[in-house]
Amino acid sequence: MSGSSVEVGFTDALNNPLLFSPEHFPSKIGGHPAWLNPANLPSVPICTICGDPLVFFSQIYAGLDRPSNGFHRTLYVFLCRRGSCYTDNKQPVRVFRCQLPADNPFYGLQPVPEGDADVNDIGENKSFAQSHNGYTNICGVCGCKAPLKCSKCQSAHYCSKSHQKYDWHEHKLNCKDQTASQNKPVHLSKSSLLFKEFDIIIEREKEKENVEIDPEELARIQNSSDAYQISGKDAESLSKEYGKDSDPTFTKFKERISRDPSQILRYARHDTPLWPVSTAQCSAAPPCGVCKAPRSFEVQFLPTLLYLLGVGKEKEDMDWATLVLFTCSKDCEVEEYVEEFAWTQTYPTG
């Protein structure tokens, strides 16, 4: 992996939630998905292991500077929060790619000024879904395509029976109030099922020569996990397996991450992932399901993110060393949302 081609992402709190709406083409963690193509949403992805709807994890906007195809381009990641669904290299993770040309029915050629976003008519714990209005009904709990609706009031929409059930204790309080909600823009409540929402800032990775690591500091990095923040559970399992740097892959990983210790993702199109540990790496991603071109590496999420999200504290929480996305190397033209390939590398157990 050459230093100059890698970009790293950091989280940032965003005070104005309207900037997370689709017309601002956000890259973010958590909350509801901001759908690039609001007219043709995928069905809510279901965990093949436990049967629950997967939870929206992140979206990465990576446009292609090619007006004809993929001028706008966003990847959407969904996963199961349940740790037991990740055992034996099972992958309860799905990623979708959506592309639009510059000339499209949803967004103008000029960017929407950030100043136009008005935070005043939106509650602190809500997200704005006006851009989705009029195209597709979206689930009031998770923000995914919603083929079901409340049979009493016909105005609350859900992706699945599971989310309808989840929402009932709150929805029953205003179930009959359908006239009031007719003309208002849809605001979605942030349910506790969702991940905490963060903005993602992308920067070029620091070059090695710009980082002065003296030998003492390097020794500290190699011998401790606090230069690289990981959940308590990770630290425990890592120190058991790698405390004496028995895995050179892990040492190399820590050294590379130490250039930007608070990074939560790495973006290096067509390059290779930086695997934290030597086991359970993905050897070959299957080819693109649409054009059959090989898929190449695009982006990976780091366990620093789980630490920030407070995931991994509970025994039943998911836990992984990295989550890697592989996408069509040809960026083939797609309508609607097509599935790409995601791989979670879990820590060895033992």
Q: What's the CA gap between 134 and 142, in Å, rounded?
A: 18
Q: Please state the closest distance from residue 142 (CB atom) to Zn ion, in A.
A: 3
152 makes contact with Zn ion (CB under 5 A): yes
Does position 149 interact with Zn ion (CB under 5 A)? The reply is no
Q: How many CB atoms lie within 10 A of CB 234?
A: 21
Site string for Zn ion, 155-184 (x = CB under 5 A): -x--x---x-----------x---------
Query: Toward Zn ion, which CB reaches closer, 16 or 296?
Result: 296
**What is the smallest separation between the CB atom of 161 and Zn ion, expressed in angstroms?**
10
Per-residue binding letters, 18-57, with Zn ion (x by CB under 5 A): -----------------------------x-xx-------
Residues 126-145 touching Zn ion, rule: CB under 5 A, are 139, 141-142
Q: Which is nearer to Zn ion, 41 or 324 (CB)?
A: 41
**CA 59, CA 146: separation in Å to the nearest integer?**
19
Residue among 218 and 291 whose Cβ is closer to Zn ion: 291
Report how many residues bind Zn ion under the rule CB under 5 A.
23
User: CA 305, CA 215: separation in Å to the nearest integer?
Assistant: 28
Window 268-327: residues binding Zn ion (CB under 5 A):
288, 290-291, 293
**How far, in Å, CA of 145 to CA of 136, rounded?**
7
334 binds Zn ion (CB under 5 A): no
Residue that the structure tokens 């007719």 belong to: 182
Whose Cβ is closer to Zn ion: residue 213's or residue 290's? 290
Contacts of 64 (CB under 8 A, 6+ apart): 70, 71, 73, 99, 331
Q: Which two tokens stand for residue 226?
A: 């606090």
Site string for Zn ion, 76-95 (x = CB under 5 A): ----x-x--x------x---
Nearer to Zn ion, 221 or 325 (CB): 325
H helix count then E strand count, the chain = 6, 14
Nearer to Zn ion, 49 or 213 (CB): 49
What is the spatial distance between Cα 280 and Cα 322, in angstroms, rounded to a whole number?
A: 10
Residue 248, Cβ density class (10 Å: 0-12 exposed, 13-18 middle, ≥19 buried): exposed
Nearest residue (CB) to Zn ion, 141 versus 238: 141
Concatenate the DSSP letters of all residues of 95-141 into one string.
EEEEEE-SS-SSS-SSPPPGGG--GGGS-TTEEE-GGGTTT--B-TT
Residues that bind Zn ion (CB under 5 A): 47, 49-50, 80, 82, 85, 92, 139, 141-142, 150, 152-153, 156, 159, 163, 175, 288, 290-291, 293, 328, 332
